[in-house]
Each structure stands twice: as structure tokens, then as C-alpha cells.
Amino acid sequence: MKKIYMSTIAAAILSTGAMAESKSIKEAFENGKTSGDISVFHKSVSKNGANKDSAYTMGSIGLNYETDTFNGFKGNLGFRTNHKFSEKENTDYDETTKTVMSLANISYTNGDATIIAGRQEIDLEWIGDFHEAVVGVFTYVPDTTIVVAHTERFMAVDDDGGLDKMADIGTNNDGANVIDVKYEGIANTVINPYFMDAKDTFSAYGLKATTTVSNIDLTAHYAATSEDVSGTKDGSIAHVEVGTTVSNIGLTAGYITTDKNGGIGSLDTLGENIAPTKDIDSSVYGVDADTFYGKISTEISSVSLSALYTSTTHGAANNKDSELLIKAGTEVAENLEVNFLFSAASYENSNDDTDRVQVMATYSF
């Protein structure tokens, strides 16, 4: 399930200033904070043609512990365990891995520099999920945050499906290097150039700019790859979006286009966050794809509601796929949220059409 979340990088910066400095290692552990969540999730997918319908119900428990700060140092440890309650077909839910260690890192902050080493969550352009990495966050330049990272392995740690194991990065398991810069010296504007390189696999660069002018939110984003693996074509993607709010109703429209020969190349190897869809991402990121989408959202009596329609044309045959995505969510009690999702995906070949329903209840502490 796609989420909007605060990365460990940002959390490390904010929490270091918020937590009191302990006077000893023992006190740092005693003053540490525990957080977590317990959730129940159900997913059901109806499929066309000869494809079998699928469904499963599962539970997930996440538990994280963070020490207080001692001489600028802080430790984090986190686990997640997922359990299948039922499934429609034997292959609908992969329970090969039941428990993972999601966090195991030490961070050090000294003035305008923070270093995080170990297993951590990363949320940058085209890099997400949980990584075994060394990350440096530097704010020496006014209005600018510079992130420099080297990651060796990564995995997804989801509360709505089977858990993965850490996977090596790069053709020769050399990992990937990343530099990400965010400049916020212009009012209501963020300019974000970035570069990443996985040795002997691919390198990529991009520039994203967001701004708000007279209640109009604007986004422009371009990224491209240089592929090192023989037979893999270079890729690129361009994305523009405009949004506004009128009388508590959010309105958003966007356009995405990819390279006519290579699609987006290897850009989404370590994560992605442009495609607004749930089931037709591969079409949006496909070769020679042009995608238009529109979204409307609001909140009624503490219930958040949104409807998104996406239409994409891709490939030499100009195949047309579309998706209607409806979401609803509310806090039914303190720290207890319930979220609903419905997705209807229509493909060029109608035998591939799907209807998805998801429901999740999560208690956070």
C-alpha cells in the first residue's frame, strides 16, 4: 500500500532537537521511547477471463524503540511481524518470511550534520523502503538540505502483504550512491536536484520543483537514466501537476510521459513515488506512455474521501488502460484508524481487468 510517511532521515533531524540530552548511556536507554502499531488487513481482487479471483486476510504488528540522545548519539531498533489469517487460493499470500528487523541504526548529530548508519527507512525520489545504508544529512548551506548516502541492500516492510528479505543492490552487489539536495530559499518553493548511481547497473539524475502561487500548487519533475547493462535502453520521465483547494474540496490534475524507447529505464529499481495509481503502474511507467489523471478530495465529518481517475496510452500499439481509485478513511477512536480502498482497473485486453477492495484497521501507540 502506498503511503505518505516521514522518513527516518527527517525524523532523526526533528527528534534530535525535540528530545532532551541524557547524561549517560543508561539514562539514554531509560528515557527512550517505544512506538508501534497493530493492524488487520483484508484484500479481495476480482479478475476477468480465466484468471482466478484472489483474497487474503492478515494481521501485522510493528514495534520500534528509540533511545534518547547522549553526546549526540541515538539508537533505533524496529521489528515487524505479519501473520496470515486466511486466503482464497494457496498462492494469494506469501508467508515465507514472517518477521523482519526493519530498523537497527545509530545516528550522530553535531550542529548542522547528522550521520545515520545501519538499517533505516529512506524516503527520497526513486529511493524508498528500508535500507542497510550510511546516510549523511547536512544543513550548513542556508535554506538547503543535502543528503549523501550509500546503500548496500534494501527491502519493503509492508503491513498489507507478505514480508521480503534484504536484497543486494547492483549487478555486482556494489550498492548505490545517492546525493539529494533540497533548496527552500524561495518562498513556498522547493527545488530538488538529485543523482544516484548503482555501479555497472545504471545511473540517474533528476530535478523536481514544487511551488505554491495564489493557492495554486504546481509541480514539475524530470528524471532520466544512463543504463550500463547491455540491451537495456536509457529511460526518462516527465511529470507536471497542478492542484488547488476550493471550499474544502481539493482538485488535482496531472500529466506523465515516458521515453519512447526505454520507458523509465531502471528508475524504479529502488522505489517510486510518481504514479498515482494502484494497479496500472506498469502501464504508466511503460515504453512511450502518456498518462493523464484527475483527482478530487474532501473531508466530511472527519471522514477523508478521494476519487482519482487515470488514463494512459502506451507502447507501439497505443494500448489504452485506465483506473478508477476511490479511498476513504477516518479515525473511529483515539489512535484507531480505518481505511477503505476500491480500485477498478481496465486494460486494453479486457481479460486482464480487475476490481480490488481493501480494508485496513490500524491502532497506533
Decide: helix, strand or coil at residue 188. Answer: coil
Question: 163 near 100, Cβ under 8 Å?
Answer: yes
Residues 130-147 have a mean pLDDT of 97
Cell numbers given for 176: 548505490
Show Cβ contacts of residue 272 under 8 Å, excluding neighbours closer than 6 positions.
126, 128, 281, 285
Q: Give the CA diameter of the chain.
A: 67
| DSSP structure string for 10-55 | HHHHHHHHHSPBPSSHHHHHHT-EEEEEEEEEEEEEEE-TTPPPEE
Tens-place pLDDT, residues 237-278: 999 999 999 999 999 999 999 999 999 999 999 999 999 999
Q: Grid coordinates 487460493 are at which residue?
A: 89
Is the pLDDT at 93 greater than 70? The verdict is: yes
Show Cβ contacts of residue 312 under 8 Å, excluding neighbours closer than 6 positions.
256, 280, 283, 284, 286, 289, 290, 291, 292, 320, 321, 322
Cell numbers given for 322: 485506465
| Strand bridging mode 249-258 / 290-300 | antiparallel
Is the pLDDT at 50 greater than 90? The verdict is: no
Q: Tell how far CA 294 is from the center of its chain.
A: 20
Tens-place pLDDT, residues 293-341: 999 999 999 999 999 999 999 999 999 999 999 999 999 999 999 999 9
Tens-place pLDDT, residues 200-215: 999 999 999 999 999 9
